[in-house]
Chain A
């Protein structure tokens, strides 16, 4: 008799696809692009393309490894959510052992690659991100809604790690990029949590809208973080990294993101939460693109 945990026999192509899916390639791409922006912004004397390639490759490996380990840890919760039930582990296309081995290998490879081909600081930041995301944030998701706050720390590392890869240092202005990405995540993830609160509840994940079902605290926190993001997003100009085009562009984008957040105060619908999510995915790439475009270095 075949054990239920054994995946169905799949073609080599389908297996490879399942492993690729396990790395969450779309999220990895966004992380790599933001890290590339951090690298470009940190490169005072022109971009070293060889180092950039090594940095992005190492970061992509690390990102894929962390995503795989995250799905390994959450494999049972993912079965309860329609949004995640078709992932490689809940759909039994890969075994837990295969996913965990793949995740650990990719994460370790990413860290070692960054240490050898980029610099030790980048590898150190990568290690801290992996520990923070996999060992602290992911297990806390079923324990407390504050896991979102904790997860925002490793989630904000991409621009910082890009800067560290370029320079081997993380000055105040690099921390400003970290702060921007840190604050941006709150309206973004709270919108997702509001949209899927019933699924999260079924899976036992304690997101804020799950424990505070009227959504007052969710809207309150979305608005306050979007509000604070406006002055923080202006820091790159105050710190001499970008010019006034960025300054006014960031101000306009910040007001747009704040307005989308404020609308969730008036309107508790899922549609409105989706609009906030859309605003968030427009905001961040545009902000970093503007930063790279209007850099003063």
Chain B
């Protein structure tokens, strides 16, 4: 349980961070005039968020170990 909690917390933080950045980009980025049309694939966008979160959890473990050695 104690091992699971930091991972769950990291997952929430990294997913949240991506959603915040995504919402900011959506607000400030001028819309792209796309002659080809077609709906945006939100499934791919979500798959990227999930994959990125998993990668970040792994890297957090590496950073935690580096920090432990540093201090």
- A residues in contact (CB < 8 Å) with B: 144-146, 149, 172, 175-176, 179, 182-183, 198, 201, 206, 208, 211-217, 219-221, 223-225, 228, 231-232, 235, 238-240, 265-268
Contact = CB atoms under 8 A, between A and B. Distances in A.
Q: Give chain B's interface secondary structure class.
A: helix
B63 A214 contact: no
Given A172-B65, A216-B25, A217-B22, 20 more contacts: A144-B44, A144-B47, A145-B47, A172-B62, A175-B62, A182-B55, A206-B44, A213-B32, A214-B32, A216-B45, A217-B44, A220-B21, A220-B45, A221-B18, A223-B21, A224-B17, A231-B63, A238-B70, A240-B69, A267-B29
B32 A224 contact: no
A266 B21 CA distance: 12
A183 B55 CA distance: 10
Nearest to A235: B66
Q: Give chain A's interface secondary structure class.
A: helix
B6 to A, nearest CB: 16
A42 B63 CA distance: 20
A32 B34 CA distance: 40
Contact of A238 (B25, B45, B48, B67): B67
